[in-house]
Every structure is written in C-alpha cells, then in structure tokens.
Amino acid sequence: MLEDKLLLLKFKRGSPDALRRIYEKYKDELLALAVALLNDRATAEDALHDVFVSFAQSADKLKLSGNLKGYLITCVANRARNSKRLGQQRMAVSLGETEPIISDSGKPERWIISSEELDTLNNALAQLPYPQREVVILHVQGSMKFKAIAESQNVSINTIQSR
Amino acid sequence: MRPAENIEKLIRNVPINTSAKRDEEVLDDVLNALEKSNNIQSAAHQPNL
C-alpha cells in the first residue's frame, strides 16, 4: 500500500520507472481479470494495453482517492464492458449484413485451459449474463467490495448484491 | 471446504501470465504515451517571455 502511494507520486511526476513498476506489479492480475470478463485472451490483452496507455496519458491529471489496485481494476472492468458492448454491436452488424465470419484460429482462446474443473467453471461463468459475471469476477477475483462495485457501475449496492 | 469457497479459490487462482513479448509491446506504447504527456505538460509550463 505504501509502495503504491510512492509509485503513484513518482508516476504523477512523470517517472517512467514508476509506471513500469506499476505495470509489472499488476499486469498478471489485471490480465486474468480481463480474460475472465471477456472470455477471450486477445481482446483481454488489448483491453489491458488500452487501460495502461490511458493511465499513462493521464499522469498529470490523475486524482486518485482510493487505492491504486482498485482504480486499475475498475478501469479494466469499464474497458471490458465497452469492449463487450462494441463486440455485440459489431456482431449484430455482421450477422445482419455480411457473410458469416469464419475464424482461422479454431476455438477462441479461453481463460482457463489447465484443468477440466476450471474449464467447467469457465463454461458456467460464460453462461451468466455479463452484468452478473462482472460482479462475480470483480468480487471474487478482484477482491472488490460490493459497495465499490456499485459505485464503479453507478448502481445501488442492492442491485449489485442481487446479481 | 464449502463448494462456494472451492469456486472462489478456483477463480482467484486462475493461472494467467502475460508473455514477455507482449509486455515489451505494451510497455513501449505505454512509455511513449507517458513521454508525450510529459512533453505536453512541460511545454505548457514554459514561461512567456
């Protein structure tokens, strides 16, 4: 926590080393979160990239009241939600107006490939409506409190808990 | 351990790591973005003579 405050201070003063350290420290956790939310590794990697580029661009303007990790988790969740929305719009257009897209990469990459048990869990999570999946992932994997999730989504805590 | 706790443990321990090549690409873009932001900021603070 103290390290994060120091890193943040240096980052706001434009330190590349601080930014590099922040990336190194949280990249794996944030990628796992993005993959869990998006169910696709390539899209998740793009989301992580975009989050950190925006973060770097906002160095001098950043007004961070909570903790750094929570802030980055919220950024990833917002980015994933936008990605999902854009993907659905693109899919609606392509299904209605163009030939079906045939992927040359076989099945889309999944976030869990190491065991049957995890695969089952992944499939079950993928079947949840996106808002519910987001709450489960942010709460369990991102260790976010329901109150923080509610604030990040601009909905009441009761709505979040009912999901 | 209860089933819910098992599931939580599974979700928390998802084995995902970024690749070194991807890290390099991301850090390149991220550090460039920071440099641009720093340049804009320092230009804005130039004194008017």
- Unique residue bearing structure tokens 């390149």: B28
User: How many domains does chain A fold into?
Assistant: 1
Give one word for B35, left, alpha or beta, with left for phi > 0 and alpha for psi -120 to 50.
alpha
How much is the pLDDT for B1? 55
Q: pLDDT category, B17, cuts 50, 70, 90?
A: confident
Distance CA B39, CA B35 (A): 6
Q: ipTM surpassing 0.95, yes or no?
A: no
Cβ separation A35–B14 shorter than 8 A: yes
DSSP strands (E only) in chain A: none
Give A96-153 pLDDT, tens digit per residue: 554 443 434 344 444 444 556 667 777 777 788 888 888 888 888 788 888 888 887 7
Exposure of B46 by Cβ count < 10 A (0-12 exposed, 13-18 middle, 19+ buried)? Answer: exposed
At residue B27, the pLDDT reads 95
* Region of poorest pLDDT, from A39-43, A92-96, B12-16: A92-96
Q: Which residues of B touch A121 (CB under 8 A)?
A: 7, 10-11
Q: Which residue has the tokens 């993928």?
A: A126
Which chain A residues are closer than 8 Å to B41 by Cβ?
A: 14, 59-60
Q: Which of A47-51, A155-159, B37-41 has the lowest mean pLDDT?
A: B37-41
Query: Which pLDDT value is given to residue B11?
Result: 65
Domain ranges, residue A115: 2-162
Could you count the other beta carbons within 10 Å of the beta carbon of residue A1? 8
Is pLDDT larger for residue B18 or for residue A114? B18
| pLDDT at residue B13 tops 80 | no
Examine the pLDDT at B28 and tell me if it is beyond 90.
yes
Per-residue pLDDT at A67: 85
For A111, which residue in chain B has the nearest alpha carbon?
Answer: B16
Rounded to a whole number, what is the distance in Å from the CA of A140 to chain B's nearest CA?
6
For A90, half-sphere exposure in the C-beta direction (CA atoms, 13 angstrom radius) is 7
- C-alpha A25/C-alpha A112 separation (Å) is 22
Residue of A nearest to B16 (CA): A32
Per residue in A11-60, pLDDT tens? 998 999 999 999 999 999 899 888 888 888 899 999 999 999 999 998 87
CATH of the domain at A156: 1.10.1740.10
pLDDT on residue A18: 95
Q: Which residues fall within 8 angstroms of residue B37, CB to CB, at 6 or more apart?
A: A14, A56, A57, A58, A59, A60
User: Would an 8 Å CB–CB cutoff place B9 in contact with chain A?
Assistant: no
Strand ranges (DSSP E) for chain B?
Answer: none
CB < 8 Å to A118, chain B: 10, 14
- Taking an 8 Å cut-off on Cβ atoms, the answer to whether B34 and A121 are in contact is no
**Chain A contact present for B45, CB below 8 A:** no
